[in-house]
Amino acid sequence: MNYPTRGQLERHLSQRIQALYRQELGHQPSKVTCQLFDCKLAVIVENSITPAEKRLAEVGQEDLAEEVRAGLKDATQPKLKALIQEILRVEVIDILSEAKLETGRLGIIVVLAQSPQVRNPEAVPKQKANNGS
């Protein structure tokens, strides 16, 4: 089997995650960056805050904006998990995410059951072994 490179997987994930947000939320993030680390995937979504959330924050309704964000996260996370599993062909164990209304950024850490197979495995940063020092 001809596996994709790490860079190809990261770019493909970025494009598909951006499309998912556009489809599900009707909102286009300005940039999505993905980085594979052994059994983890880090995702940064720039301009992730929807116009409705921004407006709520502008009028002093930050708590309501946070509730809306939490609801959107709950609604999109199953599709995000399925998308990542489809592209990486590995099981997603956990997804941790946090968004900042102030910066508009969303950070996502995905814990994978195993490292995805790539053509250039040496390019994927490995977790450092703890040697007790």
- Contact at 8 Å (CB) between 127 and 39? yes
Altogether, the residues listed in the chain come to a count of 133
Q: Say what angle helices 6-25 and 62-88 make with each other, to 10 degrees.
A: 140
| The overall pTM is greater than 0.75 | yes
- Contact at 8 Å (CB) between 64 and 56? yes
Q: Which domains does the chain have, with CATH numbers?
A: 6-113 (3.30.980)
Q: What is the pLDDT along the chain (133 residues), one digit of tens a residue?
A: 688 999 999 999 999 999 999 999 999 999 999 999 989 999 999 999 999 999 999 999 999 999 999 999 999 999 999 999 999 999 999 999 999 988 999 999 999 999 999 888 777 777 655 444 4
